[in-house]
Each structure stands twice: as C-alpha cells, then as structure tokens.
Chain A
Amino acid sequence: MEYFLQLVLNGLFVGAFYGLVALGYSMVYGIIKLLNFAHGDIYMLGAFAGYTMLTIGAGALGGGSLVALVVILIIAMILTGTLGLVLERVAYRPLRSAPRLSVLITAVGASFALEYGIAVLYGPNPRVYPVGFGNAAIEIFGARLTWAQLFMMLVAVLLMVALDTWVGRTRSGRAMRAISQDPKACLLMGINVDNVISRTFFIGSALAGAGGVMAGAYYGKIDFLMGFIIGLKAFTAAVIGGIGNIRGAVLGAVVLGLLESFGTAWLGSEWRDVFAFGFLILFLTVRPTGLLGERVTERV
C-alpha cells in the first residue's frame, strides 16, 4: 500500500513538471497549429537563466533561501517568456502563410540553435546548480514526499490554475480560444491576432522556464540538452490529453507521469522512455484526438 502510494506521488510530481512544459506546447499548437520543437529548449533556457542568476546574484539575494528562489523563478519566467516571444517573432511569424512543413523544420532548427548556442556559451559539460533543496520530507501514510517536491507541485498547480482562469474568463483568453478556431474571423472581430499569438508564446514559454528553474534546483544538474527529452515528453503528454486543449495537457501530463512511475516500477527504469513513447504511438493510433480532444458536432 505504501509502495503504491509512493508510486502515485512520484508520478504526480513528475506529471507536474511535464504539465508545465506541456501547457506551452499545447497552447502554441492550439493557436497556430505548430509543433514548437524548440519549446523543450525554452525549459532548458529557464534552467540556465536561473543558474546564472543564482551564480552571480546568490550573495545579494541571500543565498539559497526560498524567497530568493521564488524571485529568481519569476525573473526567469519573464526572461524565457520574452525569449519565446522573440522566437515567434523572428522564426515563425515570417512563415505564417508558408506550408506547415516549413515552419516545423524551422522549429527543429530553432531547437538546435538554442541548444548549441547554450553549449557555446556555457560549455557542453553539465553545470551544478548552486542551490538545492534539502531532503527533509513528510510522510503521508508511509510514503515519502520531500518538502521541495511538495513546494514545486504547489507552484505548478498554482500556475496551472492561474492559466486556466486566464484562458477561461478573461478577454485575452477568450480571444486566444477564438483564434485557435478561426483566426481569420478573429480579424473581423477587431482582434489583433499577432498580439494574441505573441502573448500566448510569452505565457507558454514562461511556464516552461519555471519548470526549468525548478528542475535545476531539484535535480541539481543542468546541461544544454536537458530540454530535448522533456520536450518530447511534454509533446506526448499534450497528445495524450488532446493537443490544443489546455486542461488536456495537464491531464495528459499527470497520466504520463503515473504511467512512467508504474512502468518503471514494473519493468525497471531503463524502460521508462520506451514505455512513455510507446504510449504516444498507442494514442496516436487508437485515439489521436487524445483524452479531451476537442470535437463538436457542427451543423451547417
């Protein structure tokens, strides 16, 4: 029983990470139907932004205190958000009316550019994050959850709830949903479509950046390729949940986290990625619209 609960907690924790990255993936796909393969690298940039600030400004911010970490998290989110916005402006917007394959290839190119750009700046070797969380943990019915894990899950949930409210209730969020359905009609509503797309990239990238900082602080090591696998995992999560659907991205991330957690327990950790991507293929074959895939019977 304890073991089972432990696996669930591990799965939820990993799922929260995947969720932060998957949201941006799914939002961007929803609004411009682009698989932004550079999205995982934005997560990596978030980790490096946090690393740089901690290395340079740790003394000024009072070392590795929780407050300092939150401040750095916010700054890193703004930085990565801006980077995502610039990426869209420079790499994707000029190709708005180009065939989708061209944009997809550009996204792969952008991914490599970011990865090896960081490799040039920081070197190819892993960097050690200057702060880490302690191992203090709480016990829940015999299962262990560190305070750090709990804290990060809370932050992730908080960000997700904020996003969900923004998308569901506000004028901008409504515009975002409208654009994902019919960008041309949105022009006739007086929506500056480019602005809303920029905003979407900003928010999605900021969330990924937050995930990156938390990953750095939690795992303690970062490198320029760290975004690659998580990008693919986030994509998998988005597909499982129904790509383009925001709640679906979170649901898919949690499902993927749990699947990995249990799959690893049964088959051994070397099977984790096989298991995860096996599920991607399964979903693409059996239910390509995902768990919450958006469909409505339309009458004409």
Chain B
Amino acid sequence: MSTVLQVTDLVVNYGKVEALRGLSLTVGAAETVSLLGNNGAGKSTTVGTISGIVRAAGGTVTAFGQDVTNAKPWDLVEMGIIHVPEGRRIFSRLTVHENLQIGGYTVRDGKAIDTRIAEVYDLLPRLAERRGQQGGTLSGGEQQMLAIGRAMIAGPKLLMLDEPSMGLAPLMVAQVMDVVRTITEQGTAVLLIEQNARAALKVASRGYVLDSGVVTIEGSADRLRADPRVVEAYLGA
C-alpha cells in the first residue's frame, strides 16, 4: 500500500507548553484513518501542523514522498492536502456558491472548478438549493456540508476533517459520515479527527488514539472498538 502521509516524531510547542511530543502516524492511499482523543490531546495541533498553519519544532511530515515539514499552507493545498478546520470556518458573508469557488482558489482551470462544483451540488443537493444564500444563514449541519464541499473543489488527495460532527444532531452526524464514506469510496485518503469515536470508527479502517501529544493506542477500527481502554474512555459501556 502506498503511503500518502507519513508523520514521524512530530514535536510542536506553544510557548513552553508541549502540544505534541513525538507523534507518528501514517495514512495510506484511499484509506480513512481516524484520530481519536480527548480535548487537548493534540488532535487539532496535528492536522494544523500537517497543513502548515502550526510550526513544527521537530520531526518530519512527508506527503506523497516529499518532505513538507513546515511548508507554506498554499503550497500544501496545491499538492492536494486539504484541511477542513474545526468549527467549519465557512465565509459567512459570501454566498454558498462563492464559498465553493473560494475552495478552488488554487485550481487554475476554471472549467474544472465548475465541474467539481456541479459534482458537489449533486452530492449535496441542499447546497444547490441554497447556492445564492449567505453562508452564515445556513444551519450548522449545512455549514459542515458546505465546508466539506468547499474542500472537495480543491481536488483533495488527502482530506483532513477536524471534528466534522461537532455540535450536530445525531441524524446530521450520520449524514456527514455518509458523505465522508462517499469521499473515501471515490479514492481520497481521509484523516478524520473525532471526539465521537463511535461514529468515526464506523467509517475509518484504522485509528490512532492520542493522549497528551503522543499516540497511545493504534490499530484497525475493529481492534480499537474491542480494546477495553477505548471502550471505557470513548465508547462508553
């Protein structure tokens, strides 16, 4: 299996606080990998470092065989490493359509952008209905769909989703996970950060559990689901 992303011994400090203390993980081609862990475990810091908005103090990030440690975020987007941030961060005063167009900022080919936007509208018809509305007027679930749709326009090869289920009703969580599954089936590698371990392990094939900036447990989704530590801490009895 070819490797899309390889993170080795990553160290990140916020001032004197060590956020990551030698974290390693890999994501293979067309694989969905889940990153689990409590608040403050370092999940968001990990994806932020991969996408170039947080500086690594040590360790390496390799994507598609290239060293991309501390590369510029726009170069990483151009390589197809797309990060959907926590809290969705859609542009609330741009229309839904404009939000999608912004997602294709690094794509030079205007026709490709239009085709991909049409595909996203097919996949997420709610967005098509609301294409002229300002992003900020959408519901939380619709905003999450828009954030994922916006990422799709860039043509991701590795999609990193930070807490896509946060603050959503259970039915909406299921819909978001369905979309994630569709994306994986199309061959895109996905790194999925979740506190909702139950939902995440349904779509992911493998997972890592983070604690205080290091990986404490890793393995296939089935193995993690059966691991008593995971059950106790994240899945409930």
- Interface set of A (CB-CB < 8 Å, partner B): 171, 174-175, 177-178, 181-182, 184-192, 294, 296-300
CA distance A294 to B76 in the complex (A): 32
Pair A294/B93 contact, Cβ less than 8 Å: yes
CA distance A181 to B93 in the complex (A): 8
Pair B103/A189 contact, Cβ less than 8 Å: yes
Q: What chain B residues lie within 8 Å of A174 (beta carbons)?
A: 94, 98, 101-102
Pair B137/A187 contact, Cβ less than 8 Å: no
User: Shortest beta-carbon distance, A124 to chain B, in Å?
Assistant: 45
User: Given A178-B91, A184-B89, A299-B139, does the pair A189, B53 have CB atoms closer than 8 Å?
Assistant: no
Pair A190/B91 contact, Cβ less than 8 Å: no
Contact with A along B90-118 (1 / 0, CB 8 A): 11111000100111011000000000000
Q: What chain A residues lie within 8 Å of B103 (beta carbons)?
A: 189
Residue of A177, A182, A184, A189 near B105 (CB, 8 A) is A189
In the complex, which residue of chain B has the Cβ closest to the Cβ of A184?
B53
User: Shortest beta-carbon distance, B19 to chain A, in Å?
Assistant: 17
User: Given A174-B101, A189-B103, does the pair A299, B73 have CB atoms closer than 8 Å?
Assistant: no
CA distance A184 to B51 in the complex (A): 12
User: Shortest beta-carbon distance, B96 to chain A, in Å?
Assistant: 13
**B77 sits at the interface (CB 8 A):** yes
- Residue among A177, A178, A189, A300 facing the most chain B CB atoms (10 A cut-off): A189
Q: What chain B residues lie within 8 Å of A181 (beta carbons)?
A: 91-94
Pair A175/B140 contact, Cβ less than 8 Å: no
User: Shortest beta-carbon distance, B101 to chain A, in Å?
Assistant: 6
Pair A188/B53 contact, Cβ less than 8 Å: yes
5 shortest A-B CB distances, which residue pairs?
A190-B77, A190-B106, A185-B89, A298-B136, A187-B73
**B74 sits at the interface (CB 8 A):** yes
Q: What chain B residues lie within 8 Å of A184 (beta carbons)?
A: 53, 85, 89
CA distance A178 to B72 in the complex (A): 19
Q: What chain B residues lie within 8 Å of A297 (beta carbons)?
A: 136-137
The contact sample of 25 A-B pairs, CB cut-off 8 A, is A171-B105, A175-B102, A178-B102, A181-B92, A182-B89, A184-B53, A188-B73, A188-B82, A188-B83, A188-B84, A189-B150, A190-B74, A190-B76, A190-B105, A191-B102, A191-B105, A192-B74, A296-B92, A296-B137, A297-B137, A298-B136, A298-B137, A299-B136, A299-B140, A299-B143
Number of A-B contacts (CB under 8 A): 81
Residue of B77, B93, B136 near A189 (CB, 8 A) is B77
CA distance A177 to B91 in the complex (A): 9
Q: What chain A residues lie within 8 Å of B102 (beta carbons)?
A: 174-175, 178, 186, 189, 191
Q: What chain B residues lie within 8 Å of A189 (beta carbons)?
A: 77, 102-103, 105-106, 150, 154
User: Shortest beta-carbon distance, A96 to chain B, in Å?
Assistant: 14
In the complex, which residue of chain B has the Cβ closest to the Cβ of A168?
B98
B150-168 at interface with A (beta carbon < 8 Å): 150, 154, 167
CA distance A50 to B140 in the complex (A): 53
Q: What chain A residues lie within 8 Å of B77 (beta carbons)?
A: 188-190
User: Given A174-B101, A296-B134, does the pair A190, B73 have CB atoms closer than 8 Å?
Assistant: yes
User: Given A181-B94, A187-B53, A188-B89, does the pair A300, B105 have CB atoms closer than 8 Å?
Assistant: no
Q: What chain B residues lie within 8 Å of A178 (beta carbons)?
A: 91, 94, 102
Residue of A175, A190, A299, A300 near B154 (CB, 8 A) is A190
**B211 sits at the interface (CB 8 A):** no
Q: What chain B residues lie within 8 Å of A182 (beta carbons)?
A: 89, 91
B51-96 at interface with A (beta carbon < 8 Å): 51-53, 72-74, 76-78, 82-85, 89-94
Q: What chain B residues lie within 8 Å of A298 (beta carbons)?
A: 92, 136-137
In the complex, which residue of chain A has the Cβ closest to the Cβ of B143?
A299
Pair B93/A296 contact, Cβ less than 8 Å: yes
